[in-house]
Amino acid sequence: MSGDDGPNAPDGRSAWTRDHAAELRRDETNVAPIIYPPADGLDEDLHVWDTWWLRDRDGSPAEVDGYRVILALTSSSDLLPGKRHDVATLRYFYSTDGKFWETGGRVFETGMLGSRQWAGSALHDDGDVYVYYTAAGEADEADLSYSQRIALAEGGTISPGDDGDGVELDGPWEHSVLLEPDGEWYEREAQSRGMTYTFRDPWFFEDEDGETYLLFEANTPVPEGSDACGGDAAQQEFNGSVGLAHSPTGDPTDFELRPPLLDAVCVNQELERPHLVVREGTYYLFVSSHHHTFAPGVEGYDALYGFAADGLRGEYEPLNGHGMVLTNPANAPFQAYSWLAYDHGDELLVTSFFNYFDYDRPSMDDVALLLEDEQMRRFGGTLAPTVRVGLDGRETRILGTLGHGHLPLAREALPADPFAGADGAG
Ligand code: FRU
């Protein structure tokens, strides 16, 4: 366990410490511009939140028959937004230009594990599609539970649509549980002492040496009476980690747990949707986290956080000294969430979804109210503008934005004026 163990614990995990997090602050390098609702959202019948793109083995967005494809958690837009997690359904969307997206439909019709499906990743490999997802709850449960397992659907294919238009992502899918927490490196539900444990958001990653991994969101077990966090029991409940599993053969269906890459014991409970960008031998590890999942005494933000190391196993150091790369403006502190970064030439491009916003109720005192009263929140429920981020060694700076949901491929140049692409529709 880390926490008080210092940056590199004996099993090689790095630590995000309270000293790092004490330096977190909004400044001119890390606050994204205010988001206004797009003229056309992704799909007016759907709430859309966590989104990821179909990727090739090297991690770049795949192009299939001229289309790029995204998968997203969705629900009917008739629902109150807070209810959406309880019924989350995976849908896919496709686009020829990475700007205007057509709804493809549900990814799975039957056979999926859990009572609903949460975030994951999707691999396009030689025509085959593998969808890694979180099976949340149990199939057919009477009362909603919060158990989480890392699941795989294999056997999918993607092919041109029937009428020659678009693409179809089709089964038959074979669903299986890939990973469950072991209770040693990764906390099980029964060990959880604070907020609900996490074991979710699998992210496929092939390293430059060809080794194949899954990253995921998890927690480090901290038993009662532990001396972590100087013995402070309240802080010990905040134990988020970035988990790792390795495929010994490179088979994308077969993974074994390894020790976490990093944890945030005494700092933060949820290191969500972990993913990596590797640039010239530096491993950039990114996670999303919330204001409300920081431990007592640490002031954090709904933000994208990043860490850098010289190798996959670390030692990871927070970017910009504290870790924050991109956050929401103070007068719309929850406007976007669930960021994903990918490499594009000299820049990082960061996608996310348009979350809660309310320009008339800006102060943090109002936040509790916003969170309590579903009717008072305004929910974006569509893709947010893609943010352009400059990366210089271990420092980052927001450069500008593209349109809502814009997903450029490597061959597509970005506008020279960093805000010139901001008006594209979702
Ligand atoms: C982040 C997240 C993910 C999870 C999903 C559930 O937005 O908490 O970790 O998979 O939302 O809706």
According to DSSP, the residues that pair with 354 across neighbouring strands are 336, 382
Instruction: Dump pLDDT digits (tens) for 214-272.
Output: 999 999 999 999 999 999 999 999 999 999 999 999 999 999 999 999 999 999 999 99
The whole-number pLDDT of residue 369 equals: 52
CA 244 – CA 94 distance, rounded (Å): 30
Residue from 118, 242, 356 whose mutation best tests the ligand 1 pocket (most atoms within 8 A of CB) = 118
- For domain 14-24+46-404, the CATH class is mainly beta
The whole-number pLDDT of residue 377 equals: 63
Residue whose CA is at the smallest distance from ligand 1 atom 8: 272
| DSSP reduced 3-state for 171 | coil
Asked whether 134 lines ligand 1 (CB < 6 A), one says: yes
Q: How far is CA 237 from the centre of its chain?
A: 22
The whole-number pLDDT of residue 426 equals: 39
The whole-number pLDDT of residue 373 equals: 53
Asked whether 336 lines ligand 1 (CB < 6 A), one says: no
| Average pLDDT value for the chain | 92
Residue 230: how many CB atoms within 10 A of its CB? 11
H or E element, residue 19: helix 18-21
Q: Residue 58 has what DSSP assignment?
A: T
The whole-number pLDDT of residue 9 equals: 75
Q: Is the ipTM of this complex over 0.90?
A: yes
Q: Residue 78: exposed, middle, or buried by beta-carbon count in 10 A (0-12, 13-18, 19+)?
A: exposed
* Residues catalogued as catalytic: 50, 272
The whole-number pLDDT of residue 4 equals: 43
Instruction: Dump pLDDT digits (tens) for 172-184.
Output: 999 999 999 999 9
Asked whether 93 lines ligand 1 (CB < 6 A), one says: no
Q: Which of 423, 405, 333, 316 is nearest to 369 (CA)?
A: 333
Q: How far is CA 401 from the centre of its chain?
A: 19
5 pLDDT more than 90:
no
H or E element, residue 135: strand 128-136
Asked whether 50 lines ligand 1 (CB < 6 A), one says: yes
Instruction: Dump pLDDT digits (tens) for 327-370.
Output: 999 989 999 999 999 999 999 999 999 998 876 554 555 555 55
Residue from 89, 196, 200, 355 whose mutation best tests the ligand 1 pocket (most atoms within 8 A of CB) = 200
Instruction: Dump pLDDT digits (tens) for 127-148.
Output: 899 999 999 999 999 999 999 9
- CA-88 nearest atom, ligand 1: 12
According to DSSP, the residues that pair with 284 across neighbouring strands are 277, 308
CA 315 – CA 330 distance, rounded (Å): 32
